[in-house]
Chain A
Amino acid sequence: MSALPNPLREGLAAERIPEPATMVIFGASGDLTKRKLLPALYSLTRERLLPGRFAVIGYARRPLTDDAFRAEMRAGCEEFARRRPVDPELWEGFARNLFYQEGGYDDPNAFVALRERLEQVERQLGLPGNRVFYLSIPPSSFAIVVKNLGLSGLVPPPSAGPQARFSRVIIEKPFGTDLATAQKLNRDIHETLTEPQIYRIDHYLGKETVQNLLVFRFANGIFEPVWNNRYVDHVQITGAETVGVEGRGGYFEQAGIVRDMVQNHLFQVVSLAAMEPPVALDADSVRDEKLKVLKALRPIPSSEMDAQVVRAQYAAGSIAGRAVPGYREEPGVSPTSQTETYLALKFFIDSWRWMGVPFYLRSAKRMPKRVTEIAIHFKEAPRLLFGRHGGEGVRPNVLSIRIQPDEGISLNFGSKLPGPQMEVAPVTMEFRYGSSFGVEPPEAYERLILDCLLGDGTLFTRADEVEASWSWISRIHQHWQEKGAAQAATGALEALPTYPAGSWGPEAGDRLLAAGGRQWRRP
């Protein structure tokens, strides 16, 4: 007989408590598990947002005992958890339900052993068989792991009714390396999983400010009326990092900044900033609107590609008073590498709302500061009144939404300088999460893991979204490949332009905006 509804849950503040479940983390010996996933689960436990009965099984190739796994995860939480130090008593209860299972990703027998271990843990802890599988593994193993999950019976086909148990799979980025590989991966995993079982994670969507974009735009009456081509001059999106490749030269050589940042994180931000109001805040309504933006991205013609897309590599320079090497001198990077560490783009969204409004996007490593923001530059006010006196201070209004760090929103506007003269000076009105609410926003992974346990896919990327963004981005890679091949054929392979580490990028990036009489914001 199925359980009766729980009347005491109604109206409780933390109503969003998932059902008891087990999470299996593939790639449990990796960095992400230690730095992000376990600290997020620990924080959720601390906030009492996880169900009373919840277990985690770490799975990886490395042999490890349960106790050794628990010790490693505790060290990770001590170093990376949002609230430190770790509460020993809380940890004791949490760690009791942490387990480890050794096994390969392409060995079907290892998956059978995993199923047996999982069933044993479920019996031992009275867990009902709800399962979340987190794929924190190399992308080349995504398809085979999903296939083995199906073959071993770890992921039974979805069923309905009160006794139904859920099986969901969270897949880390990168999801494909171009349109063809993304489509193939979607086809492969759809052989085992239905789309609602798949949670393609992009941790940017778990950030408070990214979610606040929806609130800011659609819960306030004053912004949406000016959020269009009548009032907006252009939009700038910046995703800047101070770090270089941090020992991941081999990975970055294959990815470049386009695959690492632009296709996923920044395009998700663009789609949330540019989308139409959804009919509801459920997963598919929001994702339908995001998809429309991605589909409305105007393809850049090959003839315009070099004018609208600027790529470069960082050269040696200085970050935070420390000399840093150039990209080609990093370990694991080819001395003749053609991989971009900087990308600046000019693009248009062909919709009624955004027709004619240029979007400028830049993303790079080894920039002077770490910042991700989206800045809406409004059209200038007519200078009839202040053109001759004080006109220097009259600048277009800019609304900037800071995604990281110091999440918040600021609005620049002109104000009269005190005194007898009619001088105008730009001033800023700021909202900062930290100072306004006095609480730390939760880590993105906390929100996303909780949403997956609750079956809410709003902040995860759908198959058609991934394919739409790759469809647009792959044209850029294709152009670069064709251009490289043509140059190689003539023996005149051009080196990529460089920019000194610690600068805001190459001059070509500045020229991208200067052509329209604009310039990059200094965030």
Chain B
Amino acid sequence: MPSNATNVEKFSRGEAISVEVDRIERELAALWQAAGRGQDDVGAGAGVTTPISRAALWNLIIPARGADSLSRVKRLADDLAPLLPARVITLCPGWGSATGGVTGGISATIESNVVSRPGGARQVFAEEITLTGEGADSVEHHFGALVRALQIPSLPTATLWIDSTTIESLLTNELLPVSDRLVVDTGRCGGARELAAVCRLAAASRVEVGDLGWLRLNGFRLLFAGLFDPPIGGGPLLAARHLEIEHRSPKLASALLLIAWLGCQLGWRPIDAAPAFDKGAGMRLRFGASERRDGREATVAVDLRPSPGECGTSGIVSIALDAGTPGAIYGVRRTADNHAEISVPIAPSRSVKLDSRSDAELCVGALGPAGRDPLLRRVLPYAERLADLVAARGAG
């Protein structure tokens, strides 16, 4: 029976407690009740001094793969706790030995995610359930059933598919059918093929889709879009013949997503992709732009160049648009982790703030209105086409 004084103390401190899989809800209820009564029930020196509240606004399902992935996911759950109370259900199939009770090859731990309020005010806690599978093929089905049983009723459920290298049947067969939102992370895709797969999955999903990679590009997109506000207007965008994007070496997927946004908004038709030999390493993508003033389609070349420059968490170092006349360069370049320099032909360049948000903050965004961005829905299929073009050239 885990809900003894020691376990209550551990629970209140946010430590993991092993439980039988079929007793998760019961043990959580008992631990919350005991922890909520405070120190008297726990005994002197137990450390529970403030009344606590149990809180949850979402069921969050986060699959992990392997030990490193699991520890990243658990760090994310800890970082999320103060921002968004949620019942986090972490799934780790095919890894590790049992750390708790075992049912059908699955072990479970429970823990609280503690949020201390300054000044000793009432504390709000969320909870985390970790289910670890032992590698059997049937584990996936067990996970599906367990997740359905452990969802807090009436709360929305999101699956955070953010640390997975391939699309699995666990997601499509078991998790998406019980989810209201899917959160992916294109920024973690290792290359064009993986990006294409994630885009395909997300674009086909019937639930709302948020993308942490898309949200990481938000600051850059805002700054770049701002260059073409009045009085400059969209003229230079229509006149553009060449665009260059510098990105960090493993972040090709972020650059492709950024181009997909531009291509979508500017009506560019993808033509081809090829290694950009004249630029050293990198790729050149060509697009047909039909929205020219003379009505004829022109070609826009977009060069992607790996760069060691500052990129924050977005992976993008710079973007520069050549509007076709001498000196008509419109650009944004990250100059430090939280700043960027923007340049337009009619004014001196200036430095502006460009924050990088943490993954937990991005997750909160993806679970809010930013997680049902209709623009992303349009951009994902476009990004998939670009990723397929690039992958077909053997790049990524």
**A binding-site residues for B, Cβ under 8 Å:** 2-14, 17, 19-20, 45-46, 48, 51-53, 87, 89-90, 93, 126, 128, 435-439
Contacts and interface: CB of A to CB of B under 8 A. Distances in A.
Contacts of A436: 57, 85
Interface string B226-253: 1011111111011000000000000000
B221 interface: yes
Contacts of A7: 234, 237, 265-266
Contacts of B232: 3
A98 to B, nearest CB: 15
B44 interface: no
Contacts of A3: 230-235
Contacts of B339: 89
A281 to B, nearest CB: 16
A19 to B, nearest CB: 6
Contacts of A45: 353
A51 B231 CA distance: 12
Interface in B124-175: 124
B226 A52 contact: yes
B32 interface: no
A435 B375 CA distance: 30
A435 B350 CA distance: 38
A8 B228 contact: yes
B270 interface: no
B114 to A, nearest CB: 14
B370 to A, nearest CB: 6
Taking residues whose C-beta sits less than 8 angstroms from the other chain, chain B's interface range is 35 or more
Contacts of B224: 8
Given A2-B233, A6-B230, A437-B84, 8 more contacts: A3-B233, A8-B265, A8-B266, A11-B378, A13-B370, A13-B373, A89-B351, A439-B364
A371 B230 CA distance: 44
Give 10 closest A-B pairs by Cβ, nearest first: A3-B233, A11-B375, A8-B225, A438-B83, A4-B234, A6-B228, A4-B233, A3-B230, A6-B234, A7-B265
B233 A12 contact: no
Contacts of A5: 233-234
A52 B364 contact: no
Interface in B104-121: none
Given A3-B231, A89-B353, A438 B84 contact: yes
A48 B222 contact: yes
Contacts of B221: 8, 12
Dominant secondary structure at the A interface:
loop
B395 interface: no
A126 B364 CA distance: 38
Given A435-B55, A438-B83, A438-B364, A93 B352 contact: yes
Nearest to B346: A126
A36 B136 CA distance: 61
A17 B230 contact: no
A143 to B, nearest CB: 33
B229 A6 contact: yes
B225 A87 contact: no
A17 B364 contact: no
B347 interface: yes
11 contacts: A2-B233, A3-B230, A3-B235, A8-B221, A8-B225, A9-B229, A11-B265, A13-B222, A14-B222, A20-B230, A45-B353
B356 interface: no
A46 B353 contact: yes
Given A48-B353, A87-B353, A93-B351, A6 B218 contact: no
B373 A19 contact: no
Contacts of B55: 435
A435 B85 contact: yes
Contact of A17 (B219, B226, B346): B226
B82 interface: yes
A51 B265 CA distance: 21
Nearest to B226: A52
Contacts of B265: 7-8, 10-11
B391 interface: no
Contacts of B57: 436
B374 interface: yes
Contacts of A437: 84
A48 B82 CA distance: 24
B24 interface: no
Contacts of A19: 229-230
A6 B353 contact: no
Interface in B330-363: 339, 342, 346-347, 350-353
A347 B238 CA distance: 61
Interface in B76-106: 82-85
- Residue in A6, A10, A20, A435 with the greatest tally of chain B CB atoms within 10 Å: A6
B227 to A, nearest CB: 8
Nearest to B336: A89
Interface string B354-392: 000000000010000110011100100000000000000
Contacts of B346: 126
Which of A5, A12, A87 has its CB near the most chain B CB atoms (within 10 A)? A12
A2 B230 CA distance: 9
B237 A8 contact: yes
Nearest to B230: A3
A332 to B, nearest CB: 35
B262 interface: yes
A434 to B, nearest CB: 9
Nearest to A90: B353
A53 B344 CA distance: 12
A48 B219 contact: yes
Nearest to B350: A93
Contacts of B233: 2-6
Give the one of A8, A90, A93 with max B CB within 10 A.
A8
A321 B370 CA distance: 47
A435 to B, nearest CB: 5
Contacts of B82: 438
Contacts of A93: 350-353
Contacts of A51: 226, 229
Contacts of A46: 353
B350 to A, nearest CB: 7
Nearest to B261: A8
